[in-house]
């Protein structure tokens, strides 16, 4: 049974090259620092994921790599093309077709879907900025994608780490 679920929006991306496709945009310097800082905070608070299911966009890939460099131990990353600009319902559908992990899992992607996921699991709307990370802990048995199975623990915002 999955003990912890984290939802994270990619860190701040670069718009320096306006000819670059959206899918290929990298992180900017602020995003690089934020992704590393969020990884460090997750590790320090005992919330580090063991498994990351991430969008396959460049900015989410780079966010995931920065996170795992800041977290000691082995983490597994799987890139899921269907997460790219997916709605919360699409993300939940993709996840429902998979086996529930038994290790702490992070879902890493884009808005507006990740802000909608935060609302799905917590019942609260929140401005979900780049680099935001919601931490949920299992409170009850039941379907792993049901909001009733989770308790909100923390919302980590990179601007608070600067």
Q: Which domains occur in the chain, in start order?
A: 4-160 (3.40.50.1240)
Residues 6+ apart with CB under 8 A from 85: 55, 110, 113
Cα(23)–Cα(1) distance, integer angstroms: 33
- Residue 20's pLDDT is 92
The residues of the chain scoring below 50 in pLDDT are none
Q: Are strands 105-109 and 76-80 parallel, antiparallel or unpaired?
A: unpaired
pTM above 0.85, yes or no: yes
94-119 tens-digit pLDDT: 999 999 999 999 999 999 999 999 99
Q: Look at residue 144 in the predicted model and tell me its pLDDT.
A: 97
Q: Give the orientation angle of helix 58-69 with respect to helix 29-44, to 10 degrees.
A: 40
**Confidence (pLDDT) at 159:** 84
pLDDT value for 98? 97
pLDDT above 90 covers what percent of the chain? 89
């Amino acid at each position: 049974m999955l003990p912890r679920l984290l939802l994270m929006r990619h860190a701040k991306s670069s718009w320096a090259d306006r000819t670059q496709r959206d899918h290929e945009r990298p992180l900017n310097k602020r995003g690089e620092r934020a992704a590393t800082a969020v990884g460090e905070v997750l590790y320090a608070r005992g919330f580090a994921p063991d498994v990351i299911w991430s969008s396959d966009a460049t900015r989410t890939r780079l966010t995931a790599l920065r996170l795992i460099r800041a977290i000691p131990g082995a983490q597994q990353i799987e890139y899921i093309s269907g997460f790219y600009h997916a709605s919360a319902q699409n993300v939940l559908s993709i996840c429902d077709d998979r086996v529930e992990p038994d290790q702490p899992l992070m879902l890493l992607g884009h808005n507006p879907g990740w802000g909608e996921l935060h609302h799905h699991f917590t019942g609260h709307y929140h401005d979900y900025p780049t680099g935001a990370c919601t931490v949920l802990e299992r409170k009850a048995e039941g379907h792993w994608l049901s909001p009733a199975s989770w308790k909100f623990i923390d919302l980590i915002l990179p601007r608070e780490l600067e």
